[in-house]
Structure 1
Amino acid sequence: MKNFILSCAVSVAFLPATSWAQEDAASAFASRDFATAKALWLSEAAVGSAEAMLGLGLLADRGFGQQRDFDVAFDWYLQAASLGLAEAQFNVAIMLDAGLGRERDVEEAQIWYTRAALRDHARAQYNLGLLYEAGDGIAANPALAAYWFGQAAQSVPAAAQKEVAPVTASRTLAAPDVTFDKVDTSQVELVWNADPNANATLLLEVIEAPRVGENYGAPTISVKTVASGILEMSDLPTEHAIWRVVNLASDDTDYAAADWSSNQGIAPPRGRITLFSDPAVKSMEDAASIFASSLRQAGYWVQITDDVSKQSDNFYVSYGYASDQQLAQAIAEFLPSTEQITPVKQLLRSMQPGEVAVNLSAFR
């Protein structure tokens, strides 16, 4: 793997020369006037141009017009990569993978390869497949190797020729280990490690925290993936948003979730509770309000709804996933019951992980 990366780095270095910089700098570079290219790129980098930072990294990396310096090259690439430039992210990953400019760090390289791969960088997708295929510095993961080779196959012929043996061991259900997250008002970007024997379907949940005494709402983002990371562009209320990655069982009966995260240290809910209330029955509305207040004080997020189309038939507490049975049982014990009503029941694919529904109409 390391030999491949080194040979690949040489070819990559020359590719962007006429495509990703201001015209004057690119022209100077193309005509091998490296001093002029450097001066222009330094000026552009000073005002935040990621493309100029990439150009400066290239000059140092290849020793064009100056002594070759991998440390300087890495620093410039890293600055451009941090601004979201896929080519720079790929170069950072290559240098970390090969131990150029920094000590070799495959786990960190995997993060940068993934970030570039999520931006459709085909060579990053291919290299990521190689990492997961070989298990060189990270755990081998045939499912992810096959996935990333598949993503790169159209642009990288070698990827199309790859055949990765599938995992034959029984799938486990383990929470993903999130190794990178960047969430702002325009995007959600996460990278994670997953157990090679774990189920490959993961769910990203981003939820806006409710104001005090208000109903919680549907997730701002709820999207599934089988990759080792995700990049979602969206308008987000990051001051009040929390997020997590959830590993879903293949039959949708259970899940294992990473911890909730937040930019503002928002406390995650103990659980999310939906109370179905019949607006025609005044006492039921009053009871829902009382229950909601008590649950909120106990750290749960609550919503009250009169959407009878989503009510839970003739039982009064339901949950969607096996891991939420204990939560549903706790809520059932918190509320009054009658002997004629089945208190708790699992309804597959009926709600989000960590949600429980209470049908107050069952009390009638």
Structure 2
Amino acid sequence: MTTPRIAIAGAGIGGLTCARVLQLHGFDNVTVFERESSPDARQQGGTIDLHADSGQEAVRAAGLYEEWRALARDEGQEQRKVDHVTAALIGHQPAEGDFHPEIDRGQLRRLLLDSLAPATVTWGLGIASATPGDPKSTVTFLDESTAEFDLVIGADGAWSRVRQALSDATPEYTGVLFVETRHDDNEELLDLTGHGTMVADHEGVLLWCQRNSGDHIRAYACMRAREDWKPSKAELLEVYAGWHPSLTAFLEGELIYRPLYALPVPHTWEHTPGVTLLGDAAHLMPPLGVGANLAMQDAADLALAIAEHGVREGVQAYESVMVPRAIEYAEHTKVGLQEMVPARPIRV
């Protein structure tokens, strides 16, 4: 009997996890379509912590737990808070246990890619749209070619093209701007950051720094601002006037502007045979430590449900669990962002 033909839009960690678990359960007609030209077309973001009750369970379902453990950094669980004026340590949570070790997103993605059957990922061919159908759904690719599948899975992130087949919702600006900088082999910044995450805040302005593997740091200046505001170095330093020089040193280097977006809460859709969503495509929310874990949990849950119940009933079973779970987390992260970056002051 021919296995169902399944298309996955997006070769992020969610889409790759889903493909891996499906293949482990005998679904050999799975293709991941990625608009980027290669696995190395761009950097894959910073470090992520995989939680024992979600992301790690997905890694287990993918049969990659031991390989993940070899890369995971338990010491990355350390959290530090410092005073914005003196840079003195005022709060410290040491790295204990293994509930949420850190791993670089690029390392995790490479682990998943290497676990897939050859040619599972089609690079340089993104999905432009999906048209639900019963028994077949139609995919239109960015090159305007088309193909039919038994199931189309939208794992294509915040600005998902597949989502449009199920929902009219679009991401909305949260009012919060992150400005990212990157630093390598800087002993002073490494010592201040520690082995995990360091935070400083004052009157609605934050500095959030994370240590990645290889003595690399990604720092994020966080504030309320207009969606289109792209501060110069001098303007950014003005926002942090009065902060200790060792903290404003994190603002040196290239500035990368990252306005934060989220889908409306709650985001739901009527179950439609032949198309479903996972990860940010289904429930984009503020980056407060759950997004990657939910994407992987979604992916594993969907694949396991399909393996147990088949495509039609499996997708229904998955959505009945995923959607309410996502709503709960989206509500929490919405409140969390408001508390982390209060509504005032708003920068111009």
Task: Name the TM tier (shorter chain).
Answer: under 0.3
TM-score between the two structures when normalised by the length of structure 1: 0.20
Structure with larger Rg: 1
Larger relative CO (CA 8 A, sep 6+): 1 or 2? 2
> Comparing both structures, which one devotes a greater share of its residues to helix?
1
TM-score between the two structures when normalised by the length of structure 2: 0.21
> Comparing both structures, which one devotes a greater share of its residues to strand?
2
